[in-house]
Chains A and B, each alone.
Chain A
């Protein structure tokens, strides 16, 4: 059983626009973020996100899956209303939120 995720991982800020057009850059960034060995956790600062497409949410789901498989966690910090609504509208649960 996993312990609580570490709280001292620095948060990586997500850009205001996360669409299919920026997916290539995003996946490259996410792959770097996910590289950290067993139990590696990532915090995404979602406070600036204004536009979030299905493709981008799918990338976040994939990042969470990758981290979970490695025994880590994905945490979201300061999720903006747009970010929350996009997840809710797609019927996908928001990843665990990190207190800010």
Chain B
């Protein structure tokens, strides 16, 4: 029987990217002064898993390089070679080359014949550093852990093991964790636990087992060896063992990845002191940097519980649909209430299904954040700076599409913070700061959006220099006196760069404007707050999903607009006494003693026949970027989830509008971008007063 291995190859390549990211993070965490065997084992396992699969898919160059990486790691954990900054650098470099090889394999490109030859020789030499260390002592067979599966092993069998303990298992003195560890000794395992049956604390009986597992095991051991592991629990569990090995014409069958460690390895603090060794300054431009490039992601890992929820939802939908069909077959008016009830249920199930589908796409931002410690480390070395990166909120979830598009802007902002923000240790000491600069990278959910902050304690933006540059480039009139925040925002102007020299880190003049444009294209915005001499903070706010939003439909004249619910604080029907006109600031509304600027949507979008008197209209109090405004509209039509359609695909960006949608009656309605509206109000008012 022949089998198409290409799907497994794709899975292997996707896992290689994960393993390489994991390896990088662990190498970054490695304390060379006190590297524990566990840390080295974890890195070893990454290399080993990649090597195993490489053999299975004929990627000899990957297998060969990872084998030498293993050799050095083995020497390190055996104490034959002392861990050092140089050995970590070497392993990171090798990891980068493996990444290039994996990318080439993914793209079907042949790698240059001598790619990685130098690093391979260096690794081998480092591994042989201890006297009497011969290739034979580095052989895989001598390693006690992890279990060895080499490409020489023919046709390992793959098994799917369903292990569902009875609730009484703990009372029999059996311990699942020991069983799973025993199983892992037979080969490579991928363990998936099901925690859905675990109740909350109020009803949980701690002596009962509510967990169950599916384990994929790749082993050359016979079935009897697997059953032997479960020998003592066969009467206390539901055990299903299925051989899922796919026979191929070649000697090696399906290769399974090694067990994935915790999904979110901790990377709280990474110190990035300059490397002692000289570092080449001829790095490639960031956009082409293979080390920090984002792998093309075509698949995502989804928690089985989420899939189960989807299946349940579909089941509910089918039942409701069948019920409605039955009702309609012989419908009479006395069944109207049943029909309405059914429709209401259908609506609820549709909504739940939608939520379940959307949740499948939600992924933690960790995958993007995890690349940053290495970036900062490399930049610190390149720039001779001492930079500490502190990351918070890596588990914050956001739509996969947002994550994929987030990497480039984030990389660029971090680069800028390292290059332009953090000063050299000598300068920092002169200023009375600590020699080590800090960049804080954080993510959090706020108001239905994800907010990412990049805060540094560097020099901040030199406003005098920025203004001078803007004037020299003709971006600002020579006699204009922009406000401080307007000067700060000038770094987002196209082609703006204050770098005296174009560097390969940043300052190529194509940076922050692209960042702003990319973020805006995702329906987000970026703000900067700057304290000269003390640092700057970039705040990026993005929608959690790019597909659907909860909106309030409002009428202005004959036009309907969508106001994102996430931005709405409250709605008001003001009296005339509540509205004041302030000189230079336009109309404001008094809301419990706070004066909030009013935005007349009819005026902003030039809609005819709209109310100009707020007392005859409704005011929707909205907030964006910590700025509040009152939108003056004629009527609230209703709340609805809307599917976002991009305007930019067919038209230029429209200020104040983030997209459009099609309503139930077929009408097109514009979705308002609240952050733009507050700014538009300011400029409209200013123009009105100027006129």
Contact = CB atoms under 8 A, between A and B. Distances in A.
B402 to A, nearest CB: 14
A93 B201 contact: no
Contacts of B210: 58
Interface string A37-54: 000000000000000111
B269 A90 contact: no
Given A4-B444, A26-B206, A27-B206, A93 B262 contact: yes
Interface string A72-97: 00000001010011111111111011
B193 A92 contact: yes
A85 B176 CA distance: 14
A96 B177 contact: no
Interface string A1-18: 111100000000000000
Nearest to A56: B206
A3 B444 contact: yes
Contacts of B346: none
Contacts of A61: 195, 198, 211
Interface in A59-79: 59, 61-63, 65-66, 69, 79
Contact of A54 (B176, B204, B396): B176
Contact of B193 (A27, A65, A90, A94): A90
A58 to B, nearest CB: 6
Given A27-B201, A62-B198, A62-B199, A93 B264 contact: yes
Contacts of A52: 177
B206 A23 contact: yes
Contacts of B266: 79, 97
Nearest to A63: B201
B262 A91 contact: no
Contacts of B192: 91
Interface stretch (B332-340, B387-395, B459-467, B526-534): B387-395
Interface string B213-237: 1010000000000000000000000
Contacts of A90: 176-177, 180, 191, 193, 211, 213
B477 interface: no
A2 B202 CA distance: 23
B445 A4 contact: yes
A20 to B, nearest CB: 5
A69 B177 contact: no
Contacts of A27: 201, 204, 206
Interface in B174-192: 175-177, 180-181, 184, 190-192
Interface residues of B, number: 47
B80 interface: no
A76 B199 CA distance: 20
A88 B392 CA distance: 22
A62 B209 contact: no
A58 B209 contact: yes
Question: Which residue among B204, B392, B544 has the maximum number of chain A CB atoms within 10 Å of its CB?
Answer: B204
B296 interface: no
Contacts of B170: 20, 54-55
B295 interface: no
B366 to A, nearest CB: 10
A31 to B, nearest CB: 5
Interface string B275-294: 00000000000000000000
B665 interface: no
B544 A62 contact: no
Question: Which residue among B269, B390, B395, B544 has the maximum number of chain A CB atoms within 10 Å of its CB?
Answer: B395
A99 B390 contact: yes
Question: Which residue among A89, A93, A94 has the maximum number of chain B CB atoms within 10 Å of its CB?
Answer: A89
A91 to B, nearest CB: 3
B446 interface: yes
Given A2-B445, A94-B262, A99-B268, A62 B38 contact: no
A3 B445 contact: yes
Given A27-B206, A89-B184, A90-B180, 16 more contacts: A1-B544, A23-B206, A30-B201, A31-B202, A53-B175, A58-B209, A59-B206, A62-B198, A65-B200, A84-B261, A89-B177, A90-B176, A90-B213, A91-B180, A97-B264, A97-B395
Interface of A: 1-4, 20, 23-24, 26-27, 30-31, 34, 52-55, 57-59, 61-63, 65-66, 69, 79, 81, 84-94, 96-97, 99-100
24 contacts: A1-B445, A1-B544, A20-B170, A27-B201, A53-B175, A61-B211, A65-B200, A65-B201, A66-B200, A87-B262, A88-B262, A89-B180, A89-B184, A89-B259, A91-B190, A91-B192, A91-B215, A92-B193, A94-B264, A96-B395, A97-B264, A97-B266, A99-B268, A100-B268
